[in-house]
Chains A and B, each alone.
Chain A
């Protein structure tokens, strides 16, 4: 177990709706990254939050937004859901910058399976 938790585990929405997914980081980690994983593909980077600020973004439209809270937990919000948004959404926590006894390796949660009908 990585200590990264996500909620909910499964979610069904309809087109046009909005969704909020949640992630709790591993203890001691200050950085959260979100990924979208379509069926049969590798995870695609959405964005990363470091100390409550966005710290890099992948090729996703603005309707994908996020927040990081002072306790380093995070939310992913998706507005105006589309059918293609159906995927497994993964969050991963890490420690940046890495200290001597750690790496910047990301540890993943179990994901939230989002289905858009």
Chain B
């Protein structure tokens, strides 16, 4: 079946460094992609989204890049902070359809 997957299940970065979390998706019909952050004991929290007609979108300290040619999505976090430690999920959907989540990447920030 169609799925969204991550290349790295765990990532450790030094505080202040930039983090890059990668994601591969398989449904070429997906037109909307979202990154979520999930802290222990909480529900997923929306970080940033991007539509398929874009290849880059920036937020506060975060940037999402979309490469439709190779079906790849990445989340870049600038100047990573201890509060960024969490599990990060990429998710894909076609408009108004179910959201498919990847398995998640655990980001650990080393003080």
Closest to B97 in A: A56
> How many whole Å from B69's CB to the nearest CB in chain A?
24
> How many whole Å from B52's CB to the nearest CB in chain A?
13
Number of interface residues of B (CB under 8 A): 23
Surface stretch bound by A, among B14-22, B59-67, B75-83, B101-109: B101-109
Does B24 have its Cβ within 8 Å of any Cβ on chain A?
A: no
The one of B32, B34, B99 in contact with A33, judged by C-beta atoms closer than 8 angstroms, is B99
Closest to B9 in A: A40
CB of A110 within 8 A of CB of B44, answer: no
CB of B96 within 8 A of CB of A104, answer: yes
Surface stretch bound by B, among A12-20, A41-49, A61-69, A75-83: A41-49
Binary CB contact string for chain A from 94 to 117 against chain B (1 if under 8 A, 0 otherwise):
001100000111111111000000
Within 8 A of B (CB), among A27-65: 33, 35, 40-45, 48, 55-56, 58
Does A90 have its Cβ within 8 Å of any Cβ on chain B?
A: yes
CB of B34 within 8 A of CB of A105, answer: yes
> How many whole Å from B45's CB to the nearest CB in chain A?
7
Q: Which residues on A sit within 8 Å (CB–CB) of B44?
A: 43, 90, 92, 108
CB of A105 within 8 A of CB of B89, answer: no
Interface residues in chain B, defined as those with a beta carbon under 8 Å from any beta carbon in chain A: 32, 34, 36, 41-46, 49, 89, 91, 93, 95-104
Supply 27 A–B pairs (Cβ within 8 Å), ascending by A: A2-B43, A2-B45, A4-B43, A33-B98, A41-B103, A42-B89, A42-B101, A42-B102, A42-B103, A42-B104, A43-B44, A43-B89, A43-B101, A45-B99, A45-B100, A48-B98, A58-B98, A92-B43, A103-B49, A104-B95, A105-B34, A105-B46, A106-B34, A108-B44, A108-B45, A109-B43, A110-B43
